[in-house]
Structure 1
Amino acid sequence: MEIRPDSKQLLELVHYRMPFGKFKGRYLVDLPLPYLVWFRQKGFPKGKLGDYLNTMLTIKDNNLEPIIRKLQKDFPRQST
C-alpha cells in the first residue's frame, strides 16, 4: 500500500491563515506553540481549521517547520 500526500491540501495548509482571534491573519506555521497546545487542551475547532491546527501542532512538535517555510517560498500563493 502506497501513501500519497495530497499536494493541493498540503499547499493550502502552508498558506492557511488564522481566521480569528489574537493571531488573526497569521500563517498557521507562525502561531506560537503554546497557542496550539492550548487549542489541543480546549479542543480544536471542528472542520478544516481544526484539522490544520492539529496538523501544525504535529509539525511543530517534530521540528518540521523548515519544510513548511520552504514550501511557502518555493510555492508562493497564487493570486486569484
Structure 2
Amino acid sequence: MSPSFPSSYVFLIRIWREPQEGQDMEPAWRGVVEHVTMQQRLYFRDLDQAVSFITTASGWTAGRRCRVANRLRRGRGA
C-alpha cells in the first residue's frame, strides 16, 4: 500500500541580500523556506537546500528533485 499524500502543499519562501564583510564583496543571497502546514522552517544559503527541504516534505523522488532544482535555476516553474 502506498502512503497517502495531500493533494497540495503550502510553502512560503523569502529571499534577501546580506552585505558581506569587506567593501569589495558582493552581497550574498540568503533565504528561508517554511512549510506552512507543519510550521517547519529552514534558513538557507543555497537554493539546493531549499529544494531538498521542499521535496523531502512533499515526498517527491530524488529524480523529481533534480528536475525542479534545474527549472528553478533557469527561472521556470516545476
**Structure with more helix by fraction:** 1
**Structure with more strand by fraction:** 2
Instruction: Give the TM-score of the pair, scaled to structure 2.
Output: 0.30
Structure of larger gyration radius? 2
